[in-house]
Amino acid sequence: MAVLGNPKNTIEVLQKYNFNFQKKFGQNFLIDTRILEGIIQAAHVTKEDFVLEIGPGIGTMTQYLCEHAREVVAVEIDQNLIPILKDTLSEYDNVEVINDDILKVDINQLAREHNCGKPIKVVANLPYYITTPIIMGLFESHVPIDSITIMVQKEVADRMQVGPGTKDYGALSLAVQYYARPEIVLSVPPSCFMPQPKVGSAVIRLTRHEVPPVDVKNEKLMFALIRASFNQRRKTLANGLNNFPQISLSKEQIQECIVELGVPVTVRGEALSLEQFATLSNIIEAKISREKK
C-alpha cells in the first residue's frame, strides 16, 4: 500500500536512514496524497502501461505508480537513496530501480526490453536545475514516448505552453510544442514538499504528437534558427541570425528570406510562431542550396 504521501511516514523513513537532503540533486519530496493521486490520474496510468520514473527519491510516487502500472523502472542518481528504495518498494514485484544519471541511460533500450519498443509513459518530479536537458533529451533522442507527466517549477511549466509575443515565450516553448501538446494539469504550492522549495510548482503533461504539427524539411536547421533568434532577444531576427555561424548567408540574404516569409524585416524572433519558424527554415535551406550551386 502507498503510504509515503503521509508526512509522518516520510519523516520516519528519513530518520530511520539518517538521510540528508542533497542540494546538488535538487531533492524535494512530495508529501501530499491529493497531488500524488492527481499525477497518476493526469498521466492516465493503467495496468497496460510500462512507466519510466525519473528521480524516485524515497519512492513516494513510485509506490503509487506500482499500484497502477504493469511495470515501473525508476532511475535514481543518488546512491544514498538506493537502500531506502529497496526498503520502501519491497512489497512490489513490478518495479526495478536503476542507480544512474538519466541523461546517460539508454531509454530506447529500456523501451525495447520492457515494452517491446512500444511508446512508454514517463512520470517524474524533476529537479529544477536539470528540467530542460531531461525533457529535450527524451524528445531529441526519439525515444518512443506516449506522454511525459512531470512536476516542474511553475515558471518553466508556463514557458512550455505559451505562444508568441509573451515574455515567457522562447526556445523551450517552441521545442516542446514541436514534439508534444503541453497542458498544465495541477498547480502545487511549496507546502506540498519536504523540504519546501522557494518557488511554486506545477504538473504539466506533454502528450507526444504522432506527427509534428508543422512541415519542416530540416529539423536541426529550424532549431538552430530558434536558438539564434532567442540568444539575444532584444536584437531583430535578422541580426540574431546574422551572428549565428551555422547560417552561411549574408545579412542581406537573411533579410530577403524574412521578407519572403511575409513579415517585416525588423521583426524579432519572439514574434514568430512555430509554423513561421518552420517556413523560414525551409526558405533559408532552399536559399543555401541555391547558393551552393
- Please give the angle made by the CA atoms of 266, 272 and 274, to the nearest 5 degrees: 155
Name 187's bridge partners.
Answer: 202
Q: Could you tell me if 113 and 244 lie in one domain?
A: no
Instruction: Give yes or no for a contact between 72 and 51, defined as CB atoms under 8 angstroms apart.
Output: yes
Q: Could you tell me if 182 and 105 lie in one domain?
A: yes
Looking at the domain assignment, is residue 224 inside a domain? yes
Mean pLDDT of 219-230: 92
Q: Could you tell me if 196 and 92 lie in one domain?
A: yes
Looking at the domain assignment, is residue 82 inside a domain? yes
> Does residue 289 have a pLDDT over 90?
no
87-121 tens-digit pLDDT: 999 999 999 999 999 999 999 999 999 999 999 99
| HSE of 40, CA atoms in CB hemisphere, 13 A | 20
Q: Could you tell me if 235 and 261 lie in one domain?
A: yes
Q: Could you tell me if 22 and 145 lie in one domain?
A: yes
Q: How far apart are CA 167 and CA 102, in angstroms?
A: 31
Residues 6+ apart with CB under 8 A from 169: 159, 162, 163, 270
Q: Give the chain's mean pLDDT.
A: 92
> Does residue 147 have a pLDDT over 70?
yes
Q: What is the pLDDT of residue 3?
A: 87
* CATH (domain of 92): 3.40.50.150
Looking at the domain assignment, is residue 2 inside a domain? no
Give the rounded percent of residues in the chain with a pLDDT score beyond 90: 76
**Where does a domain end: 186, 208, 230?**
208
Q: Could you tell me if 22 and 53 lie in one domain?
A: yes
> Does residue 214 have a pLDDT over 90?
yes
Q: How far apart are CA 89 and CA 87, in angstroms?
A: 6
Q: Could you tell me if 272 and 146 lie in one domain?
A: no
Q: What is the pLDDT of residue 293?
A: 64
**Structural domains of the chain, count:** 2
Q: Could you tell me if 27 and 106 lie in one domain?
A: yes
pLDDT band at 141 (very low <50, low <70, confident <90, very high): confident
Pick 60 or 290 by higher pLDDT. 60
> Does residue 235 have a pLDDT over 80?
yes
> Does residue 31 have a pLDDT over 80?
yes
Mean pLDDT of 210-231: 93
> Does residue 157 have a pLDDT over 80?
yes
C-alpha cell of residue 172:
523551450
Q: How many residues appear in the chain?
A: 293
Q: Could you tell me if 34 and 72 lie in one domain?
A: yes
> Does residue 22 have a pLDDT over 90?
no
Q: How far is CA 275 from the centre of its chain?
A: 21
Looking at the domain assignment, is residue 114 inside a domain? yes
**Where does a domain end: 187, 208, 229?**
208
Domain extent, residue 46, equals 7-208
Q: Could you tell me if 253 and 274 lie in one domain?
A: yes
51-68 tens-digit pLDDT: 999 999 999 999 999 999
Q: Could you tell me if 139 and 223 lie in one domain?
A: no
Q: pTM for this structure? A: 0.91
